[in-house]
Amino acid sequence: MTSMQSEHEEAMRSDFREQAALQQRTYQSDVTESEIGECFSKAREIHGRWNDGPHADQWRYLSDAYADWRDAPDTMVRFIDNVEFNRAKGFGIDEVQYRSLLQARELTEPHRVRPRGQVQRER
């Protein structure tokens, strides 16, 4: 992966946060068809700018981490435990990738389906 200067990383994280918010907006009950189109258009523009740029590899890593946290959070909890163990031993993913895992976890947390507790019924 290409190295990334801190200002580029900050810009990527800000744009990714905006893209994720735009995508989440499309699921709101009060959103209009026109707003959905605008959200998708803006999100595609953000994605295209990074996916075709010099830091495309880091953008894709962040995008994949976001999808993985959203779709398989239990697996990602185990994965990040392994990543942290390996990092403590001095090997594994780079700092930008690690921060991407953390950002993806943070962004998906409010939207992940939480397991429902067992319903207690009166007898």
pLDDT at 121 > cutoff 70:
no
Give the pLDDT confidence of 85-118 residue by residue, as tens digits: 999 999 999 999 999 999 999 999 987 665 544 4
Contact 41, 34 (CB under 8 A): no
Distance CA(24)–CA(39), nearest Å, equals 9
Q: How many residues does the chain have?
A: 123
**pTM score, two decimals?**
0.85
Residue 3's pLDDT is 76
First to last CA, the chain: 60
Give the pLDDT confidence of 59-94 residue by residue, as tens digits: 999 999 999 999 999 999 999 999 999 999 999 999
Mean pLDDT, the chain, as a whole number? 90
- Helix ranges (H only) for the chain are 6-25, 33-51, 56-71, 73-88, 95-108
